[in-house]
Amino acid sequence: MGEHNSLQSLLQNFEKVTNCIQNHFSNLINHRSLPPPTNEKSLLSLSPSLKTQNNPSSSTSGSTHQILIKGTSAAPVAKEELGRATWTFLHTLAAQYPENPTRQQKRDVKELMAILSRMYPCKECSDHFKEVLRANPVQTGSHDEFSQWLCHVHNVVNRSLGKLVFPCERVDARWGKLECEQRTCDLQGTTNFGDIFK
Ligand SMILES: Cc1cc2nc3c(=O)[nH]c(=O)nc-3n(C[C@H](O)[C@H](O)[C@H](O)COP(=O)(O)OP(=O)(O)OC[C@H]3O[C@@H](n4cnc5c(N)ncnc54)[C@H](O)[C@@H]3O)c2cc1C
């Protein structure tokens, strides 16, 4: 009888601990999901071929392979967050832009800016950026030219948003190359045959 009671209280304690862990996890999951979860479940479907490719040992039985992410949906990205990420990308690219770019690199950078002005996923921003590009054609002649040009157009956007202007003589101190071992992050064309055909 005594043994039975202590086993029962042990099981009750175990249940409390598992409930507590479950609550923590569901709080964590709900915290990530913005906007608030609906009754719908988000489905992330993997095609059978993809699943087997990525994990050949996985079972392929059944007609569908679905991961159910209960009550979660990807949080929307704020315009500011997207802007900061894009400027980080662009200034890092400028930091790695070579002193003597190839013709292809010059073309690519111009095209990238043109595409950005058409496809940047904020219409108000891309419309404004089109005008900025028209008034300030991309300067691609060298590392200094491109990074100073980018700093200048970023300042044009800053001004239009009532933000402080950044001192462009400090752009190389603010933005560095991507941290990477053994030059594996160098822009394509800086260390290969591309340079021969400049
Ligand atoms: C092409 C483009 C167009 C955009 N157009 C709009 C728009 O029309 N309307 C809108 O609301 N938002 C727009 N944005 C977003 C906006 O520019 C900011 O990214 C956003 O408001 C967040 O600003 P932030 O103050 O965090 O710093 P950000 O402007 O994002 O800058 C990030 C960091 O870059 C550094 N920095 C700032 N200025 C310079 C500079 N001139 N040169 C080098 N480094 C600098 C600073 O350290 C700063 O913290 C645009 C973004 C991009 C990439």
pLDDT tens column, 115-157? 999 999 999 999 999 999 999 999 999 999 999 999 999 999 9
Please state which of the ranges 54-58, 99-103, 146-150, 180-184 shows the lowest mean pLDDT: 54-58
Q: Is ligand 1 within 6 A of the CB of residue 69?
A: no
Nearest CA to ligand 1 atom 32: 84
- Protein residue closest via CA to atom 45 of ligand 1: 166
Q: Where are the beta strands (DSSP E) in the chain?
A: 42-46, 65-69
Is residue 98 a contact partner of residue 179, using CB atoms and an 8 Å limit?
no
Nearest CA to ligand 1 atom 52: 83
Residue with more model confidence, 57 or 154: 154
Our CA angle for 126, 127, 133, nearest 5°, is 80
Cα(188) to ligand 1 centroid in Å equals 27
Nearest to 140 by CA among 174, 98, 168: 98
Query: Contact, 144 vs 151, CB < 8 A?
Result: no
Rounded distance between C-alpha atoms, residue 129 and residue 157, angstroms: 8
Q: What values do phi and psi take at 169, rounded to 5?
A: -70, -10
Mean pLDDT, the chain, rounded, equals 75
For residues 152 and 136, the answer to whether their CB atoms sit within 8 Å is yes
The amino acid present at 170, given as its one-letter code, is: R
Cα angle for residues 192, 194, 196 (degrees, 5° grid): 95
91 lines ligand 1 (CB under 6 A): yes
Among 11-20, 55-64, 167-176, 186-195, top mean pLDDT goes to: 167-176
Q: Is the CB of 170 under 6 A from ligand 1?
A: no
- Rounded Cα distance between 14 and 127, Å, is 60
Minimum mean pLDDT among 13-17, 68-72, 186-190: which range?
13-17
Q: Does residue 80 line the site of ligand 1, with CB under 6 A?
A: yes
CA distances from 88 to 75, 93, 115, 131 (A): 21, 8, 17, 21
CA of 137 to the centre of ligand 1 (A): 19
Dist. CA 181 → ligand 1 center (Å) = 29
**Residue 176 phi/psi, 5° resolution?**
-110, 175
pLDDT of 193 over the 50 cut = no
Ligand 1 centroid–CA 108 distance in Å is 22
| pTM, to two decimals | 0.71
pLDDT for 186: 74
- Give the distance from CA 14 to its chain's centroid: 41
The type of residue at 99 is E
Q: pLDDT-derived band of residue 188, with 50, 70 and 90 as boundaries?
A: low
Atom 38 of ligand 1, nearest CA residue: 166
Please report the sign of the dihedral spanned by the C-alpha atoms of residue 43, residue 47, residue 50, residue 51: positive
